[in-house]
A and B are shown apart, each in its own frame.
Chain A
Amino acid sequence: MRHMLLREWVTKFSRRGFLRGGAAAVAAVAVSGPNLLAGAAEAAGLSAEETRALLKMTRDLFPHDRLDDSFYAKAIAPLQDEAAKDAATRKLLSGGIAQLNAATMASAGASAGKPYADVSDENVRVAAIKKIEGGAFFTKVYGGTMTPLYNQPELWPKFGYEGPSSAQGGYINRGFSDIDWL
């Protein structure tokens, strides 16, 4: 499934001219912080509530405590963009989010009656995703957000990845063989 999705992503973005600019172009679509997020949501066709749920779901799929929400906002930007232009995508996303909401609302305990994005208990949110795992909505979000999440240059240092190296002359004089614990 993964490579197929990556391929869809690659072809889609190459058509829109994103690809030539690579990750930077994807990042340029991005927004950061809650205020901007709301603005982007309107423009995107998904409601602010739906956008919040989509962002939360992306975090639940790829949960890294070291990343603040701005990275996830960038990850969902391509999907928002697509939803704004394509009614079928919008419908798929809205419908899926409604399902997530229904699942958490129906849950027992402290999360009962709350929409997915308002549930603070991660286990309850995860259980809601499990219910729709493998379906069209899940697949769309999983495949549509993964690459834009991990292909952000600003994110790489947080995982100890240094990104492009040719411009610095590679690692030949910058520790390619400096391991000291073996």
Chain B
Amino acid sequence: MPAKFDLNDSSVVVVIGSGAGGGTLANELAKKGISVVVLEAGRRMELTEFKNDEIGMFGAFTWFDPRTSSGSWYVAKSSPDLPAWTCKLVGGTTVHWGACALRFQEHEFKTRTRYGAIPGANLLDWPLDLKELGPYYDRAELRMGVTGTHGIPRLPASSHGKVLFAGAKKLGYTQYMTTNMAINPVPRDGRAGCQQTGFCVQGCTFGAKWSTLYVDIPQAEATGKAEVRAESQVLRIEHDASGKVTSVVYADRAGNLQRQKARIVAVAGNSIESPRLLLNSSSSQFPQGLANSSGQVGRNYMRHVTSTVFGIFDKPVHMYRGTAQSGIVMDEARLDTKRGFVGGYNLELLPQGLPSFATNLMPGEWGRDRASVIDSYANIAGVWIIGEDMARETNRVTLHPDRKDKFGMPIPNVHVDDHPNDVAMQQHAFQQADALYKSIGAKRTVHHLPFPSTHNMGTNRMSEKPQDGVVNRFGQAHDVKNLFVSDGSQFASSGGENPTLTIVALALRQSEYIADQMSKGAI
């Protein structure tokens, strides 16, 4: 039974956002007997509402509230008012996500030490390491049911995957496989096994893919300790004279302002909304924004070096069949500066249905050449480049000086200038992916520059020293001890891996810390 808490109940932990970070944290806290109110800006959808409809589900899931962008990055030109692709609904972006669930590598937690002082970058070691996070990665993998871990079998390779692997082998790569996926290969944990439908990003109609929408949220509610309020957008976090947070102000379904009191507030709105909310919660005591004495709130925004390469063959591939993103080549993920850049990248399968493919392809181009690529749709294979990008102080989320959303909250601007390291990595990856497909007979390859960012990280980063970042090693704000950040904005580096497994591992670890601190009366 979902709980129901009073607005004036100041004993609750308020979790803002119900995606990977917020959904996991809420579930864990509720299971520990802690009262939780989850405030989620989006609506609650049911599994039965998901359709195998790329355009329709993009419309139904996406966070379309106004955003702007600036800087030299491609996305500011290609989709200036949709710089990031995140979701607005219960379950957050875990409804859309492809479910690649990879651990970060050891060196990626220590970029400042391992990469040195990179000019124009603002690198920082995480105040924790792989060894410390290891047990939480284990738990995250078990609860999400990650294939290839803890005896959970891998998914079988699709035709699309086999094309990738054949090219990888020809190129001399050795680390290719169906990816570690948070998708049940066989029924597990009360959820179905994958049916290879290929519509993972449109919301898995079988529930085989892990999502907080139908895993963590119902589990949290079943404890009787959690209440999820959908269509409730938090506008401001308030504090008392001692600098502790006391309540949040949100707009409810009807657009009325409500104030929920709280013992603790955990922010998990994804890496654009979380800093936006902290910046918008400035006060005379916190003039630069809540928890922002370091000035780092909103800075060091990372979104991975990404791009897509499509290989056009003479024979059918049918890339749309089978688990969408299950296929990876990991050979380039290593740290090897001989390639001309620090950090590494993965090559991950990226199929698209015809509507997405044909509408995203070669933006701005038209005519026979572009159409001929679409004519080859059935014979095309696609791979996504995902590599580590450099934290830069000037790559940042700020509040727009004049534009406001429908609740009067300033909209966010996302500024990014690609670092030369990002560019060098992207070029290397293009070369390798081209060679991979050409080695097995692709007659042509087509490059697609980044989509709006699906991976958003770093804007409230964790740091050993308060002056370097926003939160400590547990995601607790340096400046405000009962304020936590529980999403990917905590990341001090982006790694070359998809972020969500790490977000979940951090949330699991954070839940223990919060419970411990609460029981000690420290917060």
Interface residues of A (CB under 8 A from B): 1-4, 6-7, 10-11, 13-14, 19-20, 22-23, 60-64, 66, 126, 129, 134, 142, 146-147, 149-151, 155-156, 159-167, 169-172, 174-179, 181-182
Q: A3-B451, A63-B371, A64-B374 are in contact. List 15 more A-B contacts (CB 8 A).
A: A1-B79, A6-B58, A10-B64, A14-B59, A61-B366, A126-B367, A150-B355, A166-B197, A170-B194, A171-B198, A176-B322, A177-B157, A177-B158, A179-B162, A182-B162
Knowing A1-B78, A10-B59, A176-B196, the reply to whether A159 touches B374 (Cβ < 8 A) is yes
Comparing B238-246, B356-364, B390-398, the segment that makes contact with chain A is B356-364
Would you call B367 and A63 a contact (CB within 8 A)? yes
Residues in B with CB closer than 8 Å to A147 are 55, 355, 359
- The answer on a CB contact under 8 Å between B53 and A160 is no
27 CB contacts below 8 A, A to B, read A2-B78, A3-B79, A3-B452, A7-B64, A10-B64, A14-B59, A23-B53, A23-B55, A23-B355, A60-B366, A60-B367, A61-B366, A62-B374, A64-B371, A64-B375, A129-B366, A134-B364, A142-B364, A146-B358, A150-B358, A151-B55, A160-B377, A160-B378, A176-B196, A177-B156, A179-B316, A182-B166
> Chain B interface residue count: which class?
35 or more
CB neighbours of B377 from chain A (8 A) = 159-161
Contact of A176 among B55, B58, B159, B205 (CB under 8 A): B159
Partner pick for A23 among B56, B166, B206, CB 8 A cutoff: B56
A71 vs B248: C-alpha distance when bound (angstroms) = 51
Task: Give the complex CA separation of A11 and B64 in angstroms.
Answer: 8
The winner among A3, A155, A160 for most chain B CB atoms within 10 A is A3
B480 at the interface (CB under 8 A from A): no
Would A10 and B58 count as touching, CB distance under 8 A? yes
- Residues of the A chain whose Cβ atoms lie less than 8 Å from the Cβ of B321: 162, 165, 171, 174-176
Instruction: Say yes or no: A170 contacts B196, CB within 8 Å.
Output: yes
The yes or no answer to B51 lying at the interface (CB within 8 A) is: yes
* Interface pair B206/A166, CB less than 8 Å apart: yes
Q: Note all chain A residues with C-beta closer than 8 A to B31.
A: none
Bound together, the chains give a CA A132 to CA B363 distance in angstroms of 17
Select from chain B the residue with minimum beta-carbon distance to A126. B367
| Residue B353 interfacial (CB < 8 Å) | yes
Least CB distance, B187 to chain A, in whole angstroms: 13
Please pick, from A2, A19, A64, A175, the residue contacting B59 in the complex, using a CB distance under 8 A.
A19
Contact of A171 with B196 at beta-carbon distance under 8 Å, contacts A2-B364, A177-B156 already known: yes
Write out the residue numbers on chain A whose beta carbons fall within 8 Å of the beta carbon of B52. Answer: 163-167
With a cutoff of 8 Å between Cβ atoms, the chain A residues found around residue B322 in the complex are 171, 176-177
* Complex-state Cα separation, A14 to B60, whole angstroms: 9
Contact with A along B150-174 (1 / 0, CB 8 A): 0000001111011100100000000
Check A142–B79 contact: CB distance below 8 A: no
> Is B315 an interface residue, CB under 8 A from the partner?
yes
Distance between B110 CB and nearest chain A CB, rounded to angstroms: 35
Complex CA–CA separation, A7 to B451 (angstroms)? 13
- Which of B62, B318, B371 is close to A62, meaning CB atoms less than 8 Å apart? B371
Chain A residues with CB under 8 Å of B77's CB are 1
Query: In the complex, what's the smallest C-beta–C-beta distance from B214 to chain A, in angstroms?
Result: 15
Top 8 A-B residue pairs of the complex, sorted by shortest distance between their CB atoms = A160-B378, A170-B195, A3-B79, A164-B52, A179-B159, A170-B197, A161-B354, A176-B322
| A7 adjacent to B375 (CB under 8 Å) | no
For B347, list chain A residues within 8 Å (CB). Answer: none
List residues of chain A with CB within 8 A of the CB of B162: 177, 179, 182
- In contact, A172 and B195 (Cβ under 8 angstroms): yes
Distance (Å) between the CB of A3 and the closest chain B CB? 3
What secondary structure prevails in chain B residues at the interface with A?
A: loop
Cβ of B81 < 8 Å from any Cβ of A?
A: yes
Q: Residue on A with the closest CB to B314?
A: A181
Which residues does chain A contribute within 8 Å of B374, judged by CB atoms?
62, 64, 150, 159
Smallest Cβ-Cβ distance to A146: which chain B residue:
B359
Q: How far is the CA of A63 from the CA of B157 in the complex (A)?
A: 34
Query: Do B55 and A22 touch across chains, with their CB atoms under 8 A apart?
Result: yes
Min C-beta distance of B174 to chain A, whole Å: 18
Contact of A164 among B51, B60, B318 (CB under 8 A): B51
Q: A19 contacts B56, CB within 8 Å?
A: yes
Interface hub of B60, B197, B198, B315 (most chain A Cβ within 10 A): B197
B360 in complex: contacting residue of A2, A23, A165, A179, CB < 8 Å: A2
* Minimal beta-carbon separation of B58 from chain A (angstroms): 7
In whole angstroms, what is the CA distance A144 to B258 when docked?
Answer: 40
Q: How far is the CA of A128 from the CA of B79 in the complex (A)?
A: 27
Chain A residues near B451: list those with CB within 8 A. 3
Is B222 at the interface (CB under 8 A from chain A)? no
| Complex: chain A residue closest to B371, CB-CB | A63
Are A4 and B196 interface neighbours, CB within 8 A? no
Q: Are B64 and A66 in contact (CB under 8 A)?
A: no
Cα–Cα distance between A60 and B368 once the two chains are bound (Å): 8
B199 within 8 A of A: yes
Closest CB in chain A relative to B170 CB, distance in Å? 10
CB distance from A9 to the nearest CB of B (A): 8
- When the two chains form their complex, are residues B166 and A19 in contact, meaning their CB atoms are under 8 A apart? no
Contact between chains at B363 and A159 (CB < 8 Å): no
- Determine whether B320 belongs to the interface, using a CB cutoff of 8 Å to chain A: yes
Q: Does B317 contact A (CB under 8 A)?
A: yes
Q: Are A4 and B81 in contact (CB under 8 A)?
A: yes
Instruction: Kindly provide the distance from the CB of A134 to the nearest chain B CB, expressed in whole angstroms.
Output: 8
| Residue of A19, A134, A164 ringed by the most chain B CB atoms within 10 A | A164
Partner of A7, one of B79, B353, B354: B79
- Min Cβ gap B75→A in Å is 8
The contact string, 1 if C-beta is below 8 Å from chain A, for chain B 249-281, is: 000000000000000000000000000000000
